[in-house]
Amino acid sequence: MTEEEHQRRPETPSDRIRKAFEVEFERFSDSPGSLPEGEKELRELQELRIKFLGKKSELAAQKKMIGSVDPKRRRDFALIFQNLEQDITRRIDEKELRLRTFVLRVRTERESIDVTMPGRRPRPGHLHPITLMRERIEDIFVSLGYAVEDDREIETDFYNFDALNIPEGHPARDPQDTFYTTDGFALRSQTSTVQIHAMQRRGAPIRMIAPGRVFRRDTPDPTHNPMFFQVEGLCVDRGITMAHLKGTLAELVHRLFGPETRTRFRPSYFPFTEPSAEVDYSCFNCGGKGCRICKGSGWIELGGSGMVHPNVLRAANVNPEEFTGFAFGLGIDRTCARIYQLDDIRLLFENDVRFLEQFR
């Protein structure tokens, strides 16, 4: 057949099928734009295969007619559809292979890990500087045989004041003014409350510390915050004297700041101790010569202390004729601020991680 003859030849069923296939096959690409597109083309290619080669395809219908064709033309007729079937099958198979290769490659790329990429390091948390300080103090006292008491932050006036020998109207209530609930409870203004609870619960002899949160109606400024942390200490036994108090606090500062650290006791007044003393320790930075940290004095204030007042023992049902004891109260955050040279104590409570991260 010449080209011209071919053009003029009427369209045969085989031509029609081939044409229809070409029209539909055209839209399949070799490299789809994305993984979902590739997967979609693969699915549609299967549909195309069924449409043109399946049992219900026109090709199948034509093949069924082979038997009824004039035996002289039967061979040619069969050959035409056999060729057509082979062509379509080959075209679809090739396309399918390309698409499968593409989908597999993209999936593998997506799932593979680039080991040269910089990692995203999980940032481990760490303890708050106040917690670190509290734990150091706890460890020291536990090693000295003290129990660690944890107690309530909401109190009655009895525990916060009366039992601590601060009756109503006593001027010592003023600087310890706190926050009250509408039904008469108070946020404790000192951890000294735990002395009473612990003695009521466990009697004497007793050795305990009570770290915890306290509250005062102070206006926040660089050295004050309405909420802060203290550690209370209490040791009650037969024959306890001021010497035991001094020895214990000397041991504390030796372990916290080094064995060369000295202590100094200044006479003072607290309602719940008699006699009472403020405790200072020699500056950990300059050793007592005077520097910026100790504001030139060579000494840093640790807290208050004294011999437990007999009224306090009585309020907790401990017989002051039989037992004596010492007590002390230290500021945890104050000590923290001093050690880390913070010029504003409130930084410890703002919980800005960029700040806190510096102290681990």
Q: Which stretch binds ligand DAH (CB under 6 A): 43-51, 205-213, 304-312, 335-343?
A: 304-312
DSSP 8-state secondary structure symbol assigned to residue 149 = P
**Does residue 335 bind ligand DAH (CB under 6 A)?**
no
Q: Residue 14: which of 53, 50, 62, 54 has the closest Cα?
A: 62
Closest among 347, 343, 344, 332 to 132, alpha carbons compared: 332
Under 8 Å between Cβ of 187 and 154: yes
Residues 173 and 73: their CA atoms lie apart, in Å, by 122
Q: Structure tokens of 194?
A: 């735990």
Q: CB 275 → ligand DAH: shortest distance, Å?
A: 10
146 is an interface residue for ligand DAH by CB under 6 A: no
CB of 114 to ligand DAH, least distance (A): 59
Backbone angles phi, psi at 268, to 5 degrees: -150, -170
Q: Which is nearer to ligand DAH, 190 or 261 (CB)?
A: 190
What residue type is 293 in one-letter code? I
Q: Does 306 bind ligand DAH (CB under 6 A)?
A: yes
How many residues touch ligand DAH under the rule CB under 6 A: the total is 12
Q: In this chain, which of 328, 336, 338, 345 binds ligand DAH, going by CB under 6 A?
A: 328
270 part of the interface to ligand DAH, by CB under 6 A: yes
Q: Which of these ranges, 246-254, 324-332, 340-348, 351-359, lies near ligand DAH under the rule CB under 6 A?
A: 324-332
Closest residue by Cα to residue 179 from 213, 130, 134, 221: 213
| Shortest Å, Cβ 313 to ligand DAH | 13
* Closer by beta carbon to ligand DAH, 230 or else 285: 230
Among 133, 209, 235, 327, binds ligand DAH (CB under 6 A): 327
Query: Which span sits near ligand DAH by CB under 6 A: 11-19, 42-50, 70-78, 301-309?
Result: 301-309
Stretch near ligand DAH under the rule CB under 6 A, chosen from 17-25, 282-290, 299-307, 343-351: 299-307
Q: Which is nearer to ligand DAH, 32 or 303 (CB)?
A: 303
DSSP string, 159-211: HHTGGGT--TT-GGGGGG---B-TTS-EE-S-TTHHHHHHHHHH-SSEEEEEE
Q: Which stretch binds ligand DAH (CB under 6 A): 12-20, 87-95, 302-310, 342-350?
A: 302-310
> Judged by CB, which is closer to ligand DAH: 46, or 223?
223
Beta carbon nearer to ligand DAH, 100 or 314: 314
Give me the helix-helix angle, 332-339 and 129-143, nearest 10°.
Answer: 110
- Does 232 bind ligand DAH (CB under 6 A)? Our answer is yes
β-bridge partners, 209: 148, 233
271 binds ligand DAH (CB under 6 A): no
Please report whether residue 159 would count as binding ligand DAH according to CB under 6 A. Answer: no
Name the nearest CA neighbour of 300 among 323, 321, 277, 281: 281
The helix/strand/coil state of 270 is strand
Partners of 280 in beta bridges = 264, 301
One residue of 225, 329, 338, 345 binding ligand DAH per CB under 6 A: 329
- Give the DSSP letter string of 325-343: EEEEEEEHHHHHHHHTT-S
Among 304, 309, 323, 345, binds ligand DAH (CB under 6 A): 304
CB-count exposure of residue 1 (10 Å: 0-12, 13-18, 19+): exposed
SS (H, E, C) 47-63: HHHHHHHCCCCHHHHHH
Single out the segment in contact with ligand DAH by CB under 6 A; choices: 68-76, 121-129, 282-290, 300-308. 300-308
Sign of CA pseudo-dihedral 82, 85, 91, 96: negative
Tell which positions 172-211 bind ligand DAH, by CB under 6 A. Answer: 190, 192
Question: How near is the Cβ of 192 to ligand DAH at its closest, in Å?
Answer: 4
Distance in Å, CB of 196 to ligand DAH, minimum: 11
Which residues are at the interface with ligand DAH (CB under 6 A)? 190, 192, 232, 270, 273, 303-306, 327-329
